[in-house]
Amino acid sequence: MTIQWYPGHMAKAKRQVLEKLKLIDVVIEVVDARIPLSSRNPMVDEITSHKPRLVLLNKSDLADQAVTDKWVTYFEDKGWASLVIDAQRGKGMKEIPLKVKELCKPLLDKFAAKGMNPRALRALILGIPNVGKSTVINRIANKKITKIGDRPGVTKSQQWIKVGKEIELLDTPGILWPKFEDQDVGFRLALTGAIKEEIFDFQETVVFLLDYLKKNYPEKLKNRYNLTELPEEVGELFDAIGKRRGCLVPGGIVDYDRVAEIVFRDFRQGKLGTISLERP
Ligand code: G4P
């Protein structure tokens, strides 16, 4: 799979974020809990390293909890705060304002030392398309403010959102694309819905998925497709699933496109169970 990363996009997003950063006390970065590194824009580290950071591991309902726990430790080791959330159902969201205040304690202490009333804390919320940033914002704001796009990369207008009296949230200006550092990152982004279906190859993506599942979640794979054994070769696995699902063309040959489509949809709909596609 070859997807271009345009330096122009990166430069524009960087300028836009830098401009807003002057106003900001804390950066909230939303990532997909199934692929916490692949669903990040690497530029964010480069330009926001001097700000306190809260990482929200969203879509945790779809991820493998044991792996997610390891990611929490990973981010904490970097000196960042992190929270495991499911923005769709509102799980873990109540802790966000508490974490923001905790991260901004030095600033709040400074206000107190000067005898000043603390102003609202200002947070910039970042995330690549489709990680659930709008869902998070809507949940935090407790009302429907941001229009949620049903396609990755839908532009949303920028605005400050009040979270009680103590926090103000600014949505990312522009679109922060992920970086396709290698093929595997592209596959992970395709599988989790961060890139459009038109631009990736189903079969290649599903070969990656089946290979990964075979190594990391063999039981889930066997259960879903009623297989007692998993063949060595991914091609044979396509055959086995195809036969189970009746994806045959005349002559009894397995239709690989149909198998790829079925496995892809099963993954997307969570029918293979909770799965993390990336490990620390
Ligand atoms: P964005 O602003 O970062 O681009 O993402 P947005 O909030 O629009 O969310 C993208 C999709 O992810 C939405 O589904 C949304 O409902 C879903 N989503 C957000 N948070 C969670 C979560 O914690 N768990 C789960 N399971 N889903 C979540 P959608 O519009 O149906 O898109 P899609 O799922 O078909 O891609």
User: How is residue 209 written in tokens?
Assistant: 């998925």
Q: pTM (2 decimals)?
A: 0.91
Interface pTM (ipTM) of the complex?
A: 0.96
Q: In what order do the strands lie in the sheet with 121-126?
A: 81-84, 53-58, 26-32, 121-126, 167-171, 160-163
Q: Give the Å distance between the CA of 24 and the centre of ligand 1.
A: 26
For residues 211-217, give the mean pLDDT: 97
Q: Give the Å distance between the CA of 135 and the centre of ligand 1.
A: 7
Which pLDDT value is given to residue 153?
A: 47
| Superfamily name and number for 8-171 | P-loop containing nucleotide triphosphate hydrolases (3.40.50.300)
Q: Whose CA is nearest to atom 32 of ligand 1?
A: 150
DSSP string, 179-242: ---SHHHHHHHHHTTSS-GGGS-HHHHHHHHHHHHHHH-HHHHHHHHT-SS--SSHHHHHHHHH
**Euclidean distance between CA atoms 139 and 142, whole angstroms:** 5
- Domain ranges for the chain, please list them: 8-171, 201-269
The single-letter DSSP state of residue 143 is S
249 or 19, higher pLDDT? 249
Which pLDDT value is given to residue 196?
A: 80
User: How is residue 242 written in tokens?
Assistant: 């195809």
Q: Give the Å distance between the CA of 32 and the centre of ligand 1.
A: 10
Q: What CATH number matches the domain at 201-269, 3.30.830.10, 3.20.20.105, 3.30.870.10, 1.10.1580.10?
A: 1.10.1580.10
If one residue of 32, 88, 192 were mutated to test the ligand 1 pocket, choosing by the most ligand atoms within 8 A of its CB, it would be 88
Kindly give the number of the ligand 1 atom that is closest to the alpha carbon of 149: 8
Equal fold, 8-171 vs 201-269: no
Residues contacting ligand 1 via CB (< 6 Å): 58-59, 61-62, 86-88, 127, 129-135, 148-150, 193
User: How does pLDDT run across 31-80, given as a tens digit for each residue?
Assistant: 999 999 999 988 888 888 889 999 999 999 999 999 999 999 999 999 99
Q: Whose CA is nearest to atom 15 of ligand 1?
A: 132
Confidence of residue 7 (pLDDT cuts 50, 70, 90): low
Q: Whose CA is nearest to atom 31 of ligand 1?
A: 150
69 or 141, higher pLDDT? 69
User: How does pLDDT run across 218-271, given as a tens digit for each residue?
Assistant: 999 999 999 999 999 999 999 999 999 999 998 889 999 999 999 999 999 999
Confidence of residue 155 (pLDDT cuts 50, 70, 90): very low
Confidence of residue 202 (pLDDT cuts 50, 70, 90): confident
Give the contacts of 156 (CB within 8 A, at least 6 positions apart). 134, 146, 147, 149, 171
Q: Whose CA is nearest to atom 17 of ligand 1?
A: 132
Q: Give the Å distance between the CA of 131 and the centre of ligand 1.
A: 6
**Residue 22 to residues 17, 121, 122, 141, Cα–Cα distance (Å):** 9, 13, 10, 23
Q: Any idea which residue has 């998070």 for tokens?
A: 136
For residues 110-119, give the mean pLDDT: 89
135 is in an annotated binding site: yes
Which pLDDT value is given to residue 262?
A: 97
Confidence of residue 147 (pLDDT cuts 50, 70, 90): very low
Kindly give the number of the ligand 1 atom that is closest to the alpha carbon of 156: 2
38 is in an annotated binding site: no
**What totals of helices (H) and strands (E) does the chain contain, helices first?**
11, 8
105 or 153, higher pLDDT? 105
